[in-house]
Amino acid sequence: DELEISLYGLTQKEIIQTLLEERFSVKAHFDEIKTIYKERPKKKVNKIIHIEVPPNPYWASIGLTLEPLPIGSGLQIESEISFGYLNHSFQNA
């Protein structure tokens, strides 16, 4: 007999496998995990958030750009952080 279910990652698979065995004495076998659906942006988008919370005299901004890449090229992350006047150790905190 076979049952097909959709899971969201290895942790969920391990939990279900353990519960089946511990509670029902059922040994479960899982096929190789495969992605069934993946969303990607249609066009390039930008968003900037300004963080100004009184009475904090310091403000900050963070920006994010998403743009579609050719199918199959995976995920690419590029940092364009300017260290400005902030010490590197604080930016990595």
pLDDT at 8 over 90: no
Residue 75 placed within a domain: yes
Residue 61 placed within a domain: yes
Number of domains in the chain: 1
Residue 19 placed within a domain: no
One-letter amino acid identity for 4? Answer: E
Rounded distance between C-alpha atoms, residue 15 and residue 89, angstroms: 38
Residue 74 placed within a domain: yes
Rounded distance between C-alpha atoms, residue 33 and residue 1, angstroms: 19
Q: What is the pLDDT of residue 93?
A: 65
Residue 7 placed within a domain: no
For residue 75, what are the domain limits? Answer: 45-91
Out of 1-5, 24-28, 71-75, pick the least confident: 1-5
Q: What is the pLDDT of residue 21?
A: 95
Mean pLDDT of 16-20: 95
37-90 residue pLDDT tens? 788 889 999 999 988 878 877 777 889 999 999 988 888 898 887 777 777 777
Ramachandran angles phi, psi of 65, nearest 5°: -125, 130
